[in-house]
Structure 1
Amino acid sequence: MASDIQVLQGLDTVAYVRLKKNAGKERGQLIPYQTSLDFDPQRDTDTTQTKMGGVPTTSSLETDLEIEFVHNISKVSDDLMTSLLKNEDIEVWIVYRKRRNAQGQYFAWYMQGIVSEDENENDPDDNSTRDVTFTIKGEPQRGWLTLPDEAEEELAYVFQGIGVVTSEDPTGQGTAYVDADAGTGSADYAAPATGDKGK
């Protein structure tokens, strides 16, 4: 049974964000160069001891969300600071790239809140980093979403040839390696005829 259980890797769990006010004009954006993502929904419990035994009580759900990334010049990193400075609502999606349903959609958490802290470290011998903490409102929602083609390309690039990249040839005359290519290739390759060179 245990051998059938698939393990999820932290590398394949990524966050997208969007200022809520921009929902009608732009898609959620990947936070570039993420290094860690901590998602911690929790509910405090307490027990009152009575003569008939313990009576448990629970508090409302609280969700801690913290994302670290290498500081960069991007709209996303500026939007995170805007949420903090202007107290603007932000949407967050946590997407699990290795968990998909029968329709090919990705499992994700969706939540809304604000950025409550944005720590920026600038050591002289390292990259500048950001550690962003979110205050999440209400209960995070589970669901399935579709990533547009350009979103998937942000996460994994495809093989490119050295030719010119155009809309007709988006890989620059390159062809990605597939498993069936193992052991293929020859030093005796003859280029196909391209016409009479004497003309």
Structure 2
Amino acid sequence: MAVDTSKYPAVQGKNLILFARKLSEAKTKRGMPVPYQTSIDFEPQRDKKTDATKDGYVSKSSPLQTDLKLEFVNNWSEIADKLQMSLFNGDKMEFWIVNYQRRNSEGKAFAYYMRGTVSEDETDGDPDDVSNRKTTISVEGDPVPGWTALSEEDEQMLAYVFYGVGEVGETAKNDGTDGGGTPWKAGDAGTGTPYDPSATPNDSTLKNQ
């Protein structure tokens, strides 16, 4: 049976964008996209171990572990500097892998939310090329899927629990709805609408959701 590509479009790598924010600044700052991204590696994995017993083999799973790596052209944006400071100072960060292409009925984008610290930040400086950064993040706990509102500014830049990328405000609810987020539900599996810029609610509408 042929796949309905209009209903389930293939995910384009260019539409997966990493946003980040220093956790301690969640009350006042929005999550920021890291400029000039070239690659994201998102690798959740769960190892299985098999023990031999007198009654046969017993299989058990280890806790979920997630590897997150980002490559981008080196720059001195605020968020690029804060990623490096996370390595130097141990600052805990928030991260969103946003699928800019996949939207729900409210126009929010599908994303994975996670927290962690930068464990490695490699910079190259070849004389005949731009400098590149390879950043490795140690993720704490499990990534959480959900839907996040994007501001008009976010939309413009990208066109060139679960937390949304918006600022949390004075009181965090910690229930997956802070910052314009909508928690993932079992019924969300397989759903989504390809992004249509002309049909996306404006910034003021998103801020009220």
Normalization by structure 1: what TM-score? 0.76
> Which one-letter code corresponds to 2:86 in the other structure?
S
Q: How does 1:64-79 map to 2 (within 5 A)?
A: 64-79=67-82
Using CA pairs below 8 Å that are at least 6 residues apart, which structure has the higher relative contact order? 2
> Which residue of 139, 143, 152 maps to 1:149?
152
> Which one-letter code corresponds to 1:149 in the other structure?
E
> Which one-letter code corresponds to 2:16 in the other structure?
T
The equivalent residue for 1:63 is: 66
Q: Where in structure 2 are there 5+ consecutive unaligned residues?
A: 161-197, 199-209
Asked if the contact 2:70–2:135 (Cα under 8 Å) also holds between the matched residues in 1, the reply is: yes
Q: Where in structure 1 are there 5+ consecutive unaligned residues?
A: 158-177, 179-199
> Which residue of 110, 113, 117 maps to 1:114?
117
- Runs of 4+ in structure 1 over 4 Å off: none
- 1:22-70 Cα deviation digits (max 9, x unpaired): 1011100000000000000111111112343320011111100000000
> Which one-letter code corresponds to 1:133 in the other structure?
T
**Aligned-pair distance for 1:2?**
4.0
Task: Quote the Cα distance in structure 2 between the aligned partners of 1:102 and 1:2.
Answer: 25
> Which residue of 139, 159, 177 maps to 2:142?
139
The equivalent residue for 2:44 is: 41
CA RMSD across the alignment: 1.4
The equivalent residue for 1:102 is: 105
- 1:107-148 Cα deviation digits (max 9, x unpaired): 000000000100001111111000000000011111001100
Name which one, 1 or 2, has greater alpha-carbon Rg. Answer: 1
The equivalent residue for 2:130 is: 127
Identity of aligned residues (%): 47
Asked if the contact 2:100–2:158 (Cα under 8 Å) also holds between the matched residues in 1, the reply is: no
Q: What count of residue pairs does the alignment treat as equivalent?
A: 158
Task: Quote the Cα distance in structure 2 between the aligned partners of 1:2 and 1:47.
Answer: 39
